[in-house]
Amino acid sequence: MRCFLACNFSPESKKLIGQAADTVKKKINEKKIRWVAQENYHLTMVFFDEVSEPRAQELSALTGKALHGAVRNFKIFCQGINFFPRVLFLDIPDKQNISIIYEKIKFLDPQKNRKFIPHLTLARTVKNDFSLRQKSIIKNITLPRLELEITGISLMKSEFSRNGPVYSCLYTFRE
C-alpha cells in the first residue's frame, strides 16, 4: 500500500484552503489541472511509497515513539502560491513548527538527504509541467495570509481512483 505521514487540518482550516483554491481556479481557469478535493487537504511530512502491512505497523510504532508528547494542535501560516514541476501549492513561509516535527521523524524519511520543503498541495498538472502562461498567472496571484490549525499527524494510505486519490487514515498521533 502507498503510505505517507501527514499533518491534518481542522475542518475550518480546510474550508479556508478551499476558498484560496477557488480564487486560484478562477484566475487560472484550466482543464488540464487536477485540483485536490477539500477533504484531502493535508501537509505531507514523509512519503514512504509502497509498504507492506507489517511495515506500516512498524512505521506507526516508530512514529508514535518519536512524536510522543510532541503532537498537539498548533497553527501554521500560509501566504502566497508557488509551484514545483507538476505541483501547485500554498507556500508556508514560517516553517519553524513544521520543521520541529519533521526533525523528530526525519530518520523515517526514505529521502532524508533531500531538502524538506513543507507545502500544501492545491493541484497537479496532467501534463509534465505548467505552461509559461500558467506560470505567469500563478506568479501574479495574491492571496491573503491564512492561519491554519494542525490537529494531528496521521499515517495515511493513498489509493488511486478515476476521481483522484482516496486517502484513508491508518493511525493518528495526538497528545
pLDDT one-digit tens code per residue, 52-103: 999 999 999 999 999 887 777 889 999 889 888 889 999 998 888 888 889 9
- CB distance 145 to 17 below 8 Å: no
| Average pLDDT of span 142-158 | 91
50 or 128, which is more confident: 50
In the chain, what are the helix, strand and coil shares in percent, each to the nearest 5? 35, 35, 30
Report CA dihedral (140, 143, 145, 147) to the nearest 10 degrees: -140
Amino acid at 80: G
155 or 71, which is more confident: 155
Q: How far is CA 163 from the centre of its chain?
A: 18
Measured between its terminal Cα atoms, the distance across the chain in Å is 27
pLDDT one-digit tens code per residue, 112-148: 788 888 889 999 888 777 888 888 888 889 899 999 9
Report the predicted TM-score, pTM, of the whole model to 2 decimal places. 0.88
- In angstroms, the CA 11 to CA 15 distance is 6
Q: Which of 67, 86, 98 is CA-nearest to residue 138?
A: 86
Per-residue pLDDT at 175:
62
* Residue with cell string 495526538: 174
Homologous superfamily in CATH for domain 2-173: Cyclic phosphodiesterase (3.90.1140.10)
Q: Which residues pair with 42 in a beta bridge?
A: 8
